[in-house]
């Protein structure tokens, strides 16, 4: 049975207690190639997203997956297939199990959100520590999570569910006390890029903002 309550820790959320994580290593089927290594105006997308976390004020940042040119967290060998096949929850579990005890919180961004501003990430850091989860309304990333045993228990429980809808970020956030923030303006700043067409759109959007 999934845990029914969360024991809150009253730690301060700051650059020392919180780390940043870029979730990468998915199959990128619709894109046709690894999104993390696509060049976004002169730099790999994974480097751009790590930079966005640093610009938001996070001193320690990591990428999940096998990207040896960057500070990375390798998925556990016996869970590598699970991480790919079961999506972001399995990636979060692998990351949380490696970072628990080193940090009190983590801010997680997907590798495929190139228009995400550092200021939008920073707003997550400004929220009170009493909330185990902080996210933007109707957009599950970027996401701040508390790094504790309860989070890991919830992730393991959800990954054991047979129904796909129960192995989702939505299902996780339904189980955690949380604070929803209003979407940034414009909300397209939180757009994921999953196809070549969406990639070209994001490149043009970035050029128009310069």
90 assigned to a ligand binding site: no
Q: Does the residue 32 lie in any domain?
A: yes
**Confidence check: pLDDT of 146 > 80:** yes
Model confidence at 104, pLDDT cuts 50, 70, 90, reads very high
For 154-199, how does the pLDDT look when each residue is reduced to its tens digit (9 = 90+)? 999 999 988 877 889 999 999 999 999 999 999 999 999 999 999 9
Q: Tens digit of pLDDT for each residue in 33-82?
A: 889 999 999 999 999 999 999 999 999 999 998 888 898 786 544 444 44
Task: Supply angle C-alpha 14, 112, 81, rounded to 5.
Answer: 95
Q: Which residues contact 68 (CB under 8 A, 6 or more apart)?
A: none
Structure-model confidence comparison of residues 70 and 142, the more confident one: 142
Radius of gyration of the chain (CA): 16
| Residue 42 labeled ligand binder | no
161 within domain boundaries = yes
Q: Is residue 24 annotated as involved in ligand binding?
A: yes
- What stretch of H or E contains 196? helix 196-209
Give me the chain's average pLDDT, please.
87
Confidence (pLDDT) at 6? 43
Q: What is the pLDDT of residue 133?
A: 97
Six-digit token string for 52: 């966005």
Residue 46 domain flag: yes
* Pairing between β-strand 139-146 and β-strand 133-136 as defined by DSSP bridges: antiparallel
Indicate the SS3 state at residue 82. Answer: helix
Per-residue pLDDT, averaged over 118-132, amounts to: 96
| CATH number of the domain bearing residue 75 | 3.90.550.10
Q: Does 83 score more than 80 pLDDT? A: no
- How many residues comprise the chain? 210
Cα-to-chain-centroid distance, residue 68: 19
Residue 177: per-residue pLDDT: 95
- For the ranges 13-22, 105-114, 136-145, the lowest mean pLDDT is seen at 13-22
Rounded Cα–Cα distance for residues 80 and 59 (Å): 27
What's residue 32's pLDDT? 72
Residue 171, annotated as binding a ligand:
no
- Please tell me the total count of domains within the chain: 1
Q: Is residue 11 in a domain?
A: no
139 in a structural domain: yes
- The predicted model gives 132-143 an average pLDDT of 95
Angle, helices 88-99 vs 149-159, to 10°: value is 150
Q: Which helix or strand (DSSP H or E) is residue 96 part of?
A: helix 88-99
10 within a domain of the structure (yes/no):
no
In terms of pLDDT, which residue wins out, 190 or 28? 190
User: DSSP character for 105?
Assistant: E
Assess if residue 121 is contained within a domain.
yes
pLDDT the model gives residue 27: 64
For residue 16, count other CB atoms closer than 10 A to its CB: 12
Write down the pLDDT at residue 75: 57
Centroid of chain to Cα 46 = 12
Predicted local distance difference test score (pLDDT) of residue 156: 95
- Tell which wins on pLDDT, 85 or 58: 58
- Average pLDDT (82-102) is 82
Structural domain boundaries enclosing 182: 18-209
* Residue 4 domain-assigned (yes or no): no
- 165 belongs to an annotated ligand binding site: no
pLDDT at 7 over 90: no
- pTM value? 0.89
């Amino acid at each position: 049975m999934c845990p029914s309550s969360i024991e809150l820790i009253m730690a301060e959320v700051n650059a020392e207690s919180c780390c940043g994580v870029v979730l990468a290593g998915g199959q990128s089927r619709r894109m046709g190639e690894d999104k993390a290594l696509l060049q976004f105006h002169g730099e790999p997308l994974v480097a751009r997203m790590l930079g966005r976390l640093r610009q938001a004020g996070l001193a320690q940042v990591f990428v999940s997956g096998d990207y040896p040119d960057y500070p990375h967290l390798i998925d556990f060998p016996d869970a590598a297939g699970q991480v790919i096949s079961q999506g972001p929850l399995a990636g979060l579990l692998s990351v949380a199990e490696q970072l628990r005890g080193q940090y009190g919180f983590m801010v997680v961004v997907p590798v495929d959100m190139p228009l995400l501003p550092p200021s939008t990430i920073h707003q997550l850091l400004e929220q009170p520590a009493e909330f185990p989860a902080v996210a933007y309304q109707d957009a599950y990333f970027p996401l701040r999570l508390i790094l504790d045993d309860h989070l890991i228990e919830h992730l393991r429980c959800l990954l054991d569910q047979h129904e796909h809808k129960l192995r989702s970020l939505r299902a996780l956030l339904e189980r955690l006390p949380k604070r929803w923030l209003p979407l940034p303006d414009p909300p397209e700043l939180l757009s994921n890029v999953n196809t070549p067409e969406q990639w070209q759109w994001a490149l043009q959007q970035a050029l128009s903002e310069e």
